Amino acid sequence: MRLSEQNNTSEKNNYKIIAVDDEGGIIDSLSVFLRRSGYTLVGCTNPLEAIERVKNEHFDLMLLDFIMTPIHGDQVVEEIRKFNQELYIILLTGHKDLAPPLETIKRLSIQGYCEKSDKFDQLLLLIESAIKSIKQMQMIQEINEELKESRENLEKAYLESIEIIRHTVEAKDTYTRGHSDRVSAFSVLIGKYMGLSEDDLHTLKIGGLFHDIGKIGIPDSILLKEAKLTDEEYSQIKNHPAIGKHILANATIFQDIVPIVFHHHEKFDGRGYPLGLSGENIPLFARIAAVADTFDAMTSKRSYRNALPLEVVTEEIEKCSGTQFDPKIAKVFLEILRNHYEEIEEIQRKYDTNNPS
């Protein structure tokens, strides 16, 4: 075994996984498969016993069957969430029609679910994404603990942590480098023209820098794919707000920006994700970031297309006002585009990664 493979296996062994299924054969198969993939697994066929083990031992990830006796998987999660909000849970279902309602999955903070299959390839992808998310969450928690010991360095360490982690995300995809900087700056610009306070502008700045942090948990094979994504791949992309929330939720210093990270893909008409919120039920800062994020996506070059002309972008924002975007925020941004476009150009020049000068 090569040194890199040994290090990778060693790192995987640092994470404790518990699998809960009342069929011993499933536990045995999972154990063999995951051991070959470099992971170690604790198996449990009694869901009540599993609850007690989680209460008394540390686990990073749970693979949980839904239909079990004497209680189902959602009841297991219900009990666990009473004392543990951090455990990353992937629900396993025999068939998607047997999965619990989406509202239940959201309410219990179940991070994902996967249909059972003779092949565990899809499950392995979810586990790899989960481990990335858990690793980043632990890193955030360590940063938070360090900050508690040195309050006078809070702001400095806060900004440094943002730079390190967000550059980890952008380093994965050359076409999105500079994207978070521009979304941050565009969000602040909108906020200024809306008359928001300095504290609010600061939250918009940091939230914009961090809005796509959840993409650290998306497999590179999907994130970097140039061809059209399959429905399953797109579904995984749509998990990045929830992954971002999971990474940041336990760090006190990031509480103000979590709504931006979690809700920046909601739409004003309720057709967005992850929760399908509508109107002013969507946090204000997330509504602002949504306009900034979409504008930058349309005006940036991608592997599959060139940047769109300004007139096309302007027409699209007008068309989507009241459906995708909050009409009041869209109106403010359209005013900036028409009468203060030099401020947009200044931001684009400052964060143009293709022209470092």
List residues with catalytic annotation: 215
Task: Go through 66-76 and write b for each residue having 16 or more CB atoms within 10 A of its CB, e for each that does not.
Answer: bebeeebbbeb
Could you please report the per-residue DSSP string of 60-87? Answer: SEEEEESS-SSS-HHHHHHHHTTT-S--
Q: What angle do CA 137, 4, 220 make, to 5 degrees?
A: 50
Cβ(66)–Cβ(116) under 8 Å? no
Q: What are phi and psi of 147, to 5 degrees?
A: -65, -35
First to last CA, the chain: 45
Beta bridge mates, 61? 17, 88
Amino acid present at 30: L
Provide the 10 A C-beta neighbour count for residue 270: 14
Are the C-beta atoms of 62 and 20 separated by less than 8 Å? yes
Please give the order of strands across the beta sheet that includes 88-93.
41-44, 17-20, 61-65, 88-93, 112-115
Q: Quick check: 257 and 227 in contact, CB under 8 A?
A: no
HSE (side-chain half, CA atoms, 13 Å) at 166: 22
Where do runs of H (alpha helix) occur along 171-218?
A: 179-193, 198-210
The residue type at 175: Y
C-alpha 277/C-alpha 134 separation (Å) is 27
List the structure tokens of 177.
Answer: 């480098």
Please tell me what DSSP assigns to residue 4: H
Nearest in space to 295 (alpha carbons), one of 255, 341, 260: 341
